[in-house]
Amino acid sequence: MQKYSIFSLFRHALNGHTTWAPAWRSPPLKASYDVVVIGAGGHGLATAYYLAKEFNIADVAVLERGWLGGGNVARNTVTVRSNYMRDASIPFYVKSVALYEGLTDELNFNLMHSKRTMIDVVQTFPKMRELRRRQLAMDIYGSTYEQISTEEVRRRIPALTGGGPDARLPVIGGMVHTDAGVNRHDAVAWGYARGADARGVELHQQTPVTKLLRGNDGTIKGVETPRGVVRAGKVAIAVSGHTTTLTETVGLRLPLRTMNLTAFVSEPVKPLVDVVVNCPDSGFYFSQSDKGEMVIGGAPDMGQSFRRDIKQHVFEDTVTAMLSLFPSFRKLKLLRQWGGHLDIAPDASPIMDETDVPGLFVTAGWWGGYKAIPAGGLTLAHLIAKGVPHPLMSPFTLSRFKHLDYVMESGTTTAR
Amino acid sequence: MMLIPCPFCGHRNESEFTYGGPVKPDRPDPNATSDEDWVEYLTTVPNPFGPVQERWWHARGCGTWLTIWRDTRTHDIVEGPSDAE
């Protein structure tokens, strides 16, 4: 792998940037691998990377329907945080945030990770009580959460001029989560792809998996693609909303619903807000990108959906809520919108397990899975390599539904 | 925005409705069914890449519960309300 540095930049600049090697190879598709990972998104690429790096399993193919990093890893709002509710969840996300912070060095790829703090703007007392309860749980696992006054909220976020004493929902205070940050989604996908490729993993784009193949003994045998059958003793599904579409090809039903979660972005403006702002009572959140755009997210659509665009009334509701707290944003022009289809389990927590089909692994139910990419990849690689769940992911198996042992995280995300 | 055909009010905006979830199979008798089937009934709903049968409540309208078939790929309502309670 060529190392990226100021010196390599200088050296290649002297050659007119014509001498850079491709970031990853495009090898021919083999007929069989030890492990096939379906989906070259954040979780799929991270899984392949950690399989090769931590567990010396390099005979891995990552199969991607479209282009690398073009799915949900490019369809989110790049917020990385660990303010969750349950003892099962918090350590996992603390680990993921910690991994993100060291990833630029590890991958030799600038993630532009900006640990810039998230501030919750709280407008109701039940929400404040809920967040302070979360603070106590998070404190046990070393995640930061601290209450601040309304005056301090307004000092830290000068653009927050709405929500005064006469508003229907006045701002009553805030919660500060200093571990939170944002980074660059393309770099996460490309960095992991490059790191995995350098360790021998093969990345195959434009290779949709149409069907899973199951042997007579019931175990997984491989996958079917338009480029031919690819055999593997272990197959991992990391395809977000299409998880059930794939598992149903071997008659496996999973407790997942696919929903559409949307976001939109404004024109770039001068630096105005230097934290991630989350307004749970009003139902929106945003951060300002390095380019200066406001990246804004709201609530998911009602009902199951595989569409990846925003509905007009979801968009209007989010904008209306935002303008009630940030009236000066009225002048902003909005440039783009997007949606991602995510799957959600009944308790809004992820599922990572070997399924009833031996050799078939799923990582699914990631509502806000962007922040979970490093730890999600590491723990899935652990599960595939060792056959037992990583301690951080052991509460998130499929068998928890059998015992109705839910990890309730509804409300800590935008899930409803 | 979807226009949902209410049997009493005609085509109304989706924002007048509350989503009632996909239609599940009939509730099995807990004493007569296996643990696996019972858990599946409690946790697993149809999640098709295509038409799904689901319930909507015209909460900000006439209050009717209705059942439609909606395509999850396009949001087209492929079959109108088959019932009105």
Fold category of B3-79 in CATH: Folate-binding fold (3.30.2270)
CATH 3.50.50.60 intervals, chain A? 30-109+184-256+346-402
B4 touches chain A (CB under 8 A): no
How do beta strands A146-148 and A257-266 pair? unpaired
Asked if B22's CB is within 8 angstroms of A307's CB, the reply is no
Question: What is the pLDDT confidence band of residue B85, given thresholds at 50, 70 and 90?
Answer: very low
B66 touches chain A (CB under 8 A): no
Give backbone dihedrals phi and psi of A10, rounded to 5 degrees, phi first. Answer: -65, -45
Asked if A244's CB is within 8 angstroms of B47's CB, the reply is yes
CATH 3.30.9.10 is the classification of domain A118-177+258-342:
yes
Let me know: does A190 contact A42? Beta carbons within 8 Å. no
> DSSP class of residue B50?
S
DSSP A353-389: EE-SSTTEEEEE--TTGGGGHHHHHHHHHHHHHHSS-
B15 touches chain A (CB under 8 A): yes
Contacts of A253 in chain B (CB under 8 A): 40, 44
Query: Which residue on chain A is closest to B15 by alpha carbon?
Result: A313
Alpha carbon of B73: minimum distance to chain A alpha carbons (Å): 5
What does the alpha-carbon distance between residue A396 and residue A387 come to, in Å, rounded to a whole number? Answer: 15
* ipTM of this predicted structure: 0.91
> Residues 6 or more apart from A395 whose CB is under 8 A from it?
A88, A405, A407
B78 touches chain A (CB under 8 A): no
Contacts of A305 in chain B (CB under 8 A): 72, 75
B8 touches chain A (CB under 8 A): no
CATH 3.30.9.10 intervals, chain A? 118-177+258-342
Fold category of A30-109+184-256+346-402 in CATH: FAD/NAD(P)-binding domain (3.50.50)
pLDDT tens track, chain A, 416 positions:
889 999 999 999 999 999 999 999 999 999 999 999 999 999 999 999 999 999 999 999 999 999 999 999 999 999 999 999 999 999 999 999 999 999 999 999 999 999 999 999 999 999 999 999 999 999 999 999 999 999 999 999 999 999 999 999 999 999 999 999 999 999 999 999 999 999 999 999 999 999 999 999 999 999 999 999 999 999 999 999 999 999 999 999 999 999 999 999 999 999 999 999 999 999 999 999 999 999 999 888 889 999 988 888 889 999 999 999 999 999 999 999 999 999 999 999 999 999 999 999 999 999 889 999 999 999 999 999 999 999 999 999 999 998 888 998 876 666 54
